């Protein structure tokens, strides 16, 4: 039985390849970042309005504006050139090993905002780069 038949039998009609760059013959279109991008938020979900307000406050603590941030889904990270990016924040996903950028890792923005321990852990990460 082919993989496609197997997925159809399970009534799965849509799927997403996590690492399309590993497929032979697949051309991956790179994602262009704005020139002013200083921070990538790697997150599986688009932040809510309340989460964006909290995000802006956190970014301000290390002198990055919300306009200098760019949202990517975790599987899109391999499609961008992060040479000019200063910060990468892995939110609600596993962090990747990256060189020459400051990396943060946390639970969801709403959980970090509402939980003292998560907030302190994030703050320690930010302060470690000073």
Task: Quick: pLDDT tens for 62-100.
Answer: 999 999 999 999 999 989 999 999 999 999 999 999 989
Can you tell me which residue has the tokens 């051309």?
Answer: 27
- Give the predicted TM-score (pTM) of the model: 0.80
Whether 111 maps to a domain, the answer reads yes
42-46, 79-83, 110-114: segment of lowest average pLDDT: 79-83
Domain count, the chain: 1
Q: What is the mean pLDDT of the chain?
A: 89
Contact 84, 92 (CB under 8 A): no
The rounded distance, in Å, linking the Cα atoms of 20 and 82 is: 19
3 within some domain: no
Which residues form the domain of 113?
33-127
57's tokens:
């406050």
- CATH for 114: 3.40.50.10220
Beta-carbon contacts of 85 under 8 Å, excluding residues fewer than 6 positions away, are: 33, 37, 38, 39, 40, 101
């Amino acid at each position: 039985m082919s993989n496609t038949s197997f997925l159809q039998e399970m009534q799965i009609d849509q799927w997403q390849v996590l690492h399309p760059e590993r497929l032979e013959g697949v051309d991956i279109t790179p994602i262009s970042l704005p020139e002013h991008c200083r921070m990538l938020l790697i997150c599986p979900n688009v932040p809510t309005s309340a989460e964006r307000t909290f995000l802006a406050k956190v970014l301000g603590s290390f002198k990055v504006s919300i306009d200098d941030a760019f949202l990517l889904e975790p599987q899109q990270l391999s499609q961008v050139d992060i040479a000019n990016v200063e910060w990468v924040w892995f939110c609600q996903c596993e962090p990747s090993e990256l060189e020459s950028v400051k990396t943060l890792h946390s639970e969801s923005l709403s959980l970090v905002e509402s939980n003292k321990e998560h907030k302190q852990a994030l703050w320690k990460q930010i302060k470690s780069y000073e």
